[in-house]
Structures are given as C-alpha cells and as structure tokens.
Amino acid sequence: MEKMASNWFWEYVTPNFIQQFSISDILYSGKSDYQDIQVLESPGFGRCLILDGKIQCSTFDEFIYHEALVHPAMITHPNPENVFIAGGGEGATLREVLAHKTVKNAIMVDLDEKVVDLCKEYLPTLSNGAFDDPRTELINDDAMKYLNETKEKFDVVIIDLPEPLEEGPAYLLYTQEFYKDLLTKLTPNGLMCLQAGCTSMIIVYGYTAVIKTLSTAFSAVAPYQAEIPAFGGTWGFAIASSSLDPHDLSVEDVDKRIAERIQKPLRFYDGITHRGIFSIPKYLRGQIAAETKVITKDNPLFTY
C-alpha cells in the first residue's frame, strides 16, 4: 500500500464539509490588494490556482470548466463578434472565446492585475497565447464600473468571477441590479453566461438564488451543470437572454456550428454534451422552482 501524502490543501466548503487534495509544492503564496493568491502543484490535479482559499482551476480538468462556461453561449448565438469577459484572470476563458472564428473583439476586464501576471508566469498553458492575440483588449479595472461607463454593446457577456465571498470583490456582480444593467449592454440577440456556484446537494442554495435572480432580469434563463473533479462534484452555470434559448439547438445543430466556427479540437463540449449538461436532474429543477431569494445590493448572497 502506498504511503499517504503528508501535505494537503483543504478547502472549507460549509461548516460541516471540507474537501482536500494532496500537494507536492507551493509555487507561490501571497496577497494582492484584493485577495489571497496561491499557486500549488498537486500530484492529482497538476498546477492549481487558489484565490481566498477556494480552488479556481487546475491544469488537469480546467478544460471542462472553461469549455462548459464559454461554448454553450457562443454556439447558441448565431454570430458572436463582440465578446466581454468579466474576470477570467487565468486567460483560459479568453482562450476559448478566441477559438471562435466569428470573434472580432474580446474585451477582458479583471480587477486583479497580480492574478493575471502570476498566471502568465506559473500557468501559461491556460491562456496559451490568448493575451497576445490582436483581438484581445485586456483591462485591469472593476468590471461593473467598466460596463456602467461603456457605450459598447456585446453579443456575448461572460461572467467568470470567484464566488461571492463577504470579504471578496465580486459579490455585487451577482445582484439583480447588475443583471438588469447588463441587459442594456447586450445586442438584440445578445446573451450572457456565468459560473453560478456548486450544484451539489450539500450546498445548492447559492446556485438556486442566482438562477432566481437572473429570471427577474431576463426572459429566458437556461441553467446547466458539469462535473468538475477539482471542484469536488457538479458545478452550475447559466445562460440568460431576452430571445435565445440553448435548448432549441439539436445535437446536429451544435456539431455543425462547432465544425464551422471553432478552430481547434474540443475535449469536453459537443452536441451530445450540450444536450446532457442542460438536462439537469429532477431534484435540482425542483429546488430552482421553489427558490424565493432575489439577490440585491441590500440583500446580497454570500457563500462560505
């Protein structure tokens, strides 16, 4: 029997639940003006980015998260040319956006310049040259402030932010006020997508509240989920629009658009996967239907 590893990263999930994985090296540990940052090496998950004690991605399975976040929305849109990314400091969301031949401009606004710089240094495979693409505009600023001030309209807006921690910088971008403002920044067929938290049965309250809040701002909201091993289980996402619904696409529609638009092989997402991730289980549909909490500035959502 192999000897158990002696060094472990553990993540506090709830007062009754933690998750752990072994680590072989701490490549970086420090603080920015906004959050604690670590880059760890794990025998099981490869290099991992940790923000405020929460794992954000691992090189082992980041392709699942980033393909799930980006491609369903991009493929649902008939011709996404102008894309906005809030957050996404690793550059992997940007990488997946730029894989679409239709994209002419991709504006990425991430508050924490230090995260971007550390990811360029320690996790360069995640961006894979995306920061140097001529279609990219990288801005280190507050995404809400930028959207409030810009006169641009976007075909797709992708919200790739950390969880809404009480001490963290992102919680206001999970509110009804933000979603209603965001709707005015979309083109007529525009849509937004976001990561919306854990959908495991032990901690689903945040996800259902996000879906409920989105439904107060957008007429079409499509929740979905994917299994992400480094996150300890299923993780929730959503697409929101005033006109487009990803459920309307057949397996053949998705595969045809992928073949026409995407300039690289995908490892997670295709037409069959599209149908699967939007077929969320009965218990989760029931919890979403029963949710009453609407997240606002005065009634925010905080996760652990």
The arithmetic mean of pLDDT across residues 91-99, rounded, is 98
Q: Hey, what are 185's tokens?
A: 């920044």
- Percent of the chain whose pLDDT exceeds 90: 83
Going from N- to C-terminal start, the domains of the chain cover: 8-58, 62-290
Residue 1 has pLDDT above 70, yes or no: no
Interval 144-158 mean pLDDT: 95
DSSP 30: E
pLDDT higher than threshold 70 for residue 87: yes
3-state secondary structure 112-179: CHHHHHHHHHHCHHHHCCHHHCCCEEEECCCHHHHHHHCCCCEEEEEEECCCCECCCCCHHHHCHHHH
Is 36 among the catalytic positions?
no
Q: How far is CA 7 from the centre of its chain?
A: 29
Single pTM value for the model: 0.94
**Overall fold of domain 8-58:** Spermidine Synthase; Chain: A, domain 2 (2.30.140)
Sign of torsion over alpha carbons 104, 107, 175, 13: positive
Residue 164 predicted with pLDDT over 90: no
In CATH terms, the fold of domain 62-290 is Rossmann fold (3.40.50)
**Which is the catalytic residue, given 61, 112, 155, 160?**
160
Average pLDDT for 148-164 = 92
Q: What is the pLDDT of residues 114-133, one digit of tens each?
A: 999 999 999 999 999 999 99
pLDDT mean over 214-219? 96
Closest CA to 159 of 218, 253, 260, 87: 87
Q: In this structure, what are the phi and psi dihedrals at residue 136, rounded to the nearest 5 degrees?
A: -85, 135
The reply to whether 62-290 shares the fold of 8-58 is no
